[in-house]
Chain A
């Protein structure tokens, strides 16, 4: 199998928790074909899973009949992942979780997904859709060699 920059794969998931693993496995398979290291693939898997969960929960309000679309595009030395939903978009950047505030109950124990995405990939942008015409999406880029390492 020849791995070609420009190859694209699209996955459509029902907004039902657990299906994020389908996108996660697809992303991991593509990254492996491209020659990503195991630790970068693990970063990618977590980021893609969290992006899909956000899209299901916050974007599509867990309506299983509304799909989350995931488009994975191979580029030279990087993989771009767009996760699209029907919501109004997310506000970014996400604050870092404050473990002391979580432990004291001042901050929800949940709500770490966006932070993890930002911390694990090389580029991330959240784009708000304009309603039914354009979907909201998060675009992640992960490179074969992490920047600043």
Chain B
């Protein structure tokens, strides 16, 4: 019943000239997405991936269990000195992420272009 979630990875360059690792998610982000969200993040070498962009543009369904996975990534990134930015959220989920306080630990940007310009 759950739509398969997919994640793809791309290296971008931020406006500062520093590399940005973009993780693009699609499908559902829920409790069944731990491998896609946390697993993909954990597979990145922490020393060489200092700026990470989580792109939710292709996500069709997101629930509180999926948001908890994002918080888990933020926790690990914070301990590792990595910067996390988030883009591609709908206005509704921008509101929800703000309500739960994620904006204290990650910058929300409307799209990839805005994120690259800010990083």
Chain B interfacial positions (CB closer than 8 Å to A): 1-2, 28, 30-32, 61, 63-65, 67-69, 71-72, 74-75, 78, 90-92, 96, 99-102, 104-105
Contacts and interface: CB of A to CB of B under 8 A. Distances in A.
A116 B30 contact: no
Nearest to A107: B71
Nearest to A43: B92
Interface in A96-137: 97-100, 102-103, 105, 108-113, 115-116, 119
Nearest to A49: B63
A17 B30 contact: yes
Interface residues of A, number: 29
A42 B100 CA distance: 17
Contacts of B102: 99
Interface of A: 16-21, 39, 42-43, 46, 49-50, 53, 97-100, 102-103, 105, 108-113, 115-116, 119
5 contacts: A99-B71, A99-B104, A100-B101, A103-B71, A113-B64
A61 B100 CA distance: 26
Contacts of B92: 39, 42-43, 46
Contacts of A109: 68-69, 71-72, 75
Nearest to B72: A109
